[in-house]
Amino acid sequence: MSDLNSLTLFKAKDGLKAKKFSSLELVTDCLSRIKTLQPKLNCFVSIFEKESLDKAKKADLEKPLGGIPIAVKDNFCVEGTKTTASSKLLDNYQAHYSSTFTKRLEDAGAIIIGKTNMDAWAHGSSTETSDYGPTKNPWNTNHLPGGSSGGSASAVSSDQCIVSVGSETAGSIRQPASWCGVAGFKPTYGRCSRYGLIAMKSSTDSPGPIGKTVDDTAYILSLVSGHDPLDATSLDLPPWQPPKSLTNLKGLKIGLPTSYFPSQIQPDTKSAIYNAVKILEKLGAEIVKLDDMMDPKYSIAVYTILQRSEVSSNLSRFDGVRYGKDRSFFGAEAKRRIMLGTYSLSAGYYDAFYLKAQKVRTLICQDFDKQFKKVDAILGPVSPTTALKLGATKDQAMFGELQDMFLEPSSIAGLPGISIPCGFDKTGLPIGLDIIAPQLREDIVYQIAKIFEDNTDYHLSKPKL
């Protein structure tokens, strides 16, 4: 049997359980696909061919993810493997322990077949800042896949793995998922452990799954979530479990913020979101216009200051003394962020910038609290545009913040959200729909995304490679 790599997670699980094929065949197909597409798409920094094949031969199919090949973003530590965060500063770094997220995947039987490319240190929304070259979008290789989890999203979209792992600080799961036409589930902050994830902005970093369907991402989330004593920000809660899917959305109020449709939004993107709203209305949802919701432009300023400040602190550990190379190996983007963050935290500027940004962050959280008293969930575009062309980030210091402007508010507030395919622009590039809900209400996010997916076929489209 061939093309096993194109299976969804549940179809792969069912096939393995029914012995229609073996884990070895499944892993072999994925590795073959990687070999074919790596020169074209550059999704991987490291490929674990021998290790994956050895594990596939001994796969325990009784485990929840027994024999399933998974790709992991290269800012997750996996014991004994090179972990670079796509920076040459860590080019030779071998992780001495595994992140809780990836350990739980492996404990469930998953086979990590490789580490995916990303924006260096997760600084960006394009995967162009990677020291290992940019990843390409499988829908059009002249375009970006998004970022910083661009390698993970592109790998899933092009069937190089069954499912992948990403991390989001202000859109880095949902935005590349949108640009690559797959599902990206960002959990509530603290729902999944950050232990072993190379920190970027610790107060919003959220690891999460990227998959071919909503169910695939929800199932992964159920296996990796739950309290972790090794992470002080981990919520003291049991693993999240997906609720039953719905047959209609009657009684559910969904908010549509008018401020999330500014003049610079791409017309095709706007049309796709409004079309998605009509579909959800037909399924019984009550759509409520939110005319008083805070403009996402304020989140751009807040995120920029807070992110740079936390970066300047988190990257201070990479001094070339304990691990990695010296600081001359930092790329230009990392240096810019360190300098701006150090400036924001310095004496005389702390109150004017960092403290003020924290106060506005509180206002953003309070605004969401107010809106969620009126609605159960909020819809909007994932990004103002579909995937832009390679090179679009050149001389654009605020590229990421502008492309993630609709996602930054929910990330700042620690809310769960998902990006799912909801259409295509006139050139055939995917468009994503963002669904967010109050903290710890992944159930609402899942149910809306699931019923939308069940009643549309956007997720079934595949890039022609």
Condensed to tens digits (0 to 9), the pLDDT of residues 433-460 reads 999 999 999 999 999 999 999 999 999 9
Tell me if residue 73 is catalytic. Answer: yes
Q: In this predicted structure, what is the pLDDT of residue 282?
A: 98
How far apart (Å, rounded) are the C-alpha atoms in residues 425 and 85?
32
Candidates 23, 98, 148, 383; catalytic one: 148
Q: Among 145, 180, 154, 186, which residue's Cα sits nearest to residue 434?
A: 186
Residues (pLDDT < 50) of the chain are 1
Helix (H) or strand (E) holding 445: helix 442-454
Q: Enumerate the domain spans of the chain.
A: 4-460
Condensed to tens digits (0 to 9), the pLDDT of residues 101-130 reads 999 999 999 999 999 999 999 999 999 999
Exposed/middle/buried for 272, CB within 10 Å: 0-12, 13-18, 19+? buried
Tokens of 303: 């995120």
Q: What is the DSSP string of 127-183?
A: S-S-TT----BTTBTTB---SSSHHHHHHHHTTSSSEEEEEESSSTTHHHHHHHTSE
Q: In this predicted structure, what is the pLDDT of residue 211?
A: 98
Q: In this predicted structure, what is the pLDDT of residue 395?
A: 82
Question: Does pTM surpass 0.85?
Answer: yes
CB 382 within 8 A of CB 175: yes
Q: In this predicted structure, what is the pLDDT of residue 57?
A: 98
Q: In this predicted structure, what is the pLDDT of residue 1?
A: 47
Sequence-separated (6 or more) residues with CB below 8 Å from residue 199? 205, 310, 314
- 4-460 fold: Amidase signature (AS) enzymes (3.90.1300)
Tell me if residue 2 is catalytic. Answer: no
| Neighbour tally for 301: CB within 10 Å | 15
Query: Can you tell me whether residue 59 is helix, strand or coil?
Result: coil
Candidates 13, 73, 136, 212; catalytic one: 73
Tell me if residue 152 is catalytic. Answer: no
Q: Kindly list the distances between the CA atom of residue 182 and the CA atoms of 206, 217, 458, in Å, as whole numbers in the listed order.
A: 18, 10, 9
Tokens of 316: 């201070």
CB 129 within 8 A of CB 43: no
Candidates 154, 158, 164, 172; catalytic one: 172
Query: Can you tell me whether residue 423 is helix, strand or coil?
Result: strand
